[in-house]
């Protein structure tokens, strides 16, 4: 179960061909596009805030989020 008490929607505009390719690649890897986007966001935050970002951003060091 993710640490966050709530979720927030993030809408992005993307070229339809890139979206189709992305969805196809996700399907091949048996992951949802949302899972991949969440991982990309976590990686981006960690690269800029540091490895202890969870404590700073989420108030927790728990690594169980999806």
As a whole number of angstroms, the distance between CA 44 and CA 38 comes to: 10
pLDDT digits (tens, 9 = 90+) for 4-43: 567 889 999 999 999 999 999 999 999 999 999 999 999 9
Domain chopping of the chain, boundaries = 31-60
pLDDT digits (tens, 9 = 90+) for 51-63: 888 888 888 665 5
As a whole number of angstroms, the distance between CA 26 and CA 23 comes to: 5
User: CA gyration radius for the chain?
Assistant: 14
**Structural contact between residues 57 and 3, judged by C-beta atoms closer than 8 angstroms:** no
**Structural contact between residues 6 and 63, judged by C-beta atoms closer than 8 angstroms:** no
As a whole number of angstroms, the distance between CA 44 and CA 58 comes to: 15
């Amino acid at each position: 179960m993710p640490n966050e008490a709530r979720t927030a929607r993030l809408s992005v505009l993307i070229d339809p061909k890139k979206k189709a390719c992305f969805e196809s690649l996700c399907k091949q890897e048996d992951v949802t596009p949302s899972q991949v986007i969440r991982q990309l966001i976590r990686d981006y935050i960690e690269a800029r805030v540091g490895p202890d970002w969870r404590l700073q951003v989420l108030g927790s060091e728990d690594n169980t989020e999806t």
